[in-house]
Homo-oligomer: A and B are copies of this chain.
Amino acid sequence: MTAKLYDLELSGNCYKVRLAAALMGVPLEVVPVDFLAGAHKVSPLIDLNPFGEIPILEDDGVVLRDSQAILVYMARKWGGESWLPNDAAGLAEVVSWLMVAENEIARGPNDARLHDKFGTKLDVDLARSRAARVLGLLERHLERNAWLALDRPTIADVACMPYVALGHEGGVPMDGHAAVAAWVRRVKSLPGFAGMPAI
């Protein structure tokens, strides 16, 4: 059975899953969700994910919420150790960047884009100042490293790249962050890479 992704094309979180599938060469059945109608807030989707969000991955009886957790599953099941190692230090290093995707990037460029593109009510000045901070942290890290973790592409890059590259849709472009922009280009040149609108 092909794994099923409940998807929204414009969601950077859903895109992470599509990107990982493309990079790992895994076929996905992509099920578009009627997001504007709130299909993710009612049955049957709310029964799969009580948090009322997408992406949701369904695979062989396993149901998973949260894009970062789904990346972990995909790497362990299909991607192999190069995408997510088993050893304590390597695994934790990758996970520490998944947390940047879930925290600093979500509260920064992702929130700013939610405000500008989808009309979500939130403090957009705070989101933009958080975006500037995380872009600065990424820039300094990527001036010395080609990839976020372990000197190679991992799911850390898959998790963190999309909302950084979509920042221009929230008023936080990559201008002045040459190392970040070069890293985004490196991710885009990986074999199998798939894009999304605005990336």
Contacts and interface: CB of A to CB of B under 8 A. Distances in A.
Interface of A: 50-51, 62, 64-66, 68-70, 72-73, 76-77, 86-89, 91-93, 95-96, 98-100, 102-104, 106-107, 122-123, 126, 137, 140-141
Given A50-B140, A99-B102, A102-B102, A91 B76 contact: yes
Contacts of A65: 96
A100 B102 CA distance: 9
Contact of A89 (B62, B68, B91, B93): B62
Contact of A70 (B66, B86, B92, B102): B92
Number of copies: 2
A126 B140 CA distance: 32
A49 to B, nearest CB: 10
Q: Which of A68, A86, A93, A102 has the most CB of B within 10 A?
A: A102
A96 B141 contact: no
A109 to B, nearest CB: 15
A107 B111 CA distance: 13
B95 A69 contact: yes
Nearest to A102: B102
A141 B137 CA distance: 36
B73 A92 contact: yes
21 contacts: A50-B137, A50-B141, A51-B137, A62-B88, A62-B89, A62-B92, A64-B89, A66-B100, A68-B95, A69-B95, A69-B96, A69-B99, A72-B88, A73-B88, A73-B89, A76-B86, A76-B88, A76-B91, A95-B95, A103-B106, A122-B126
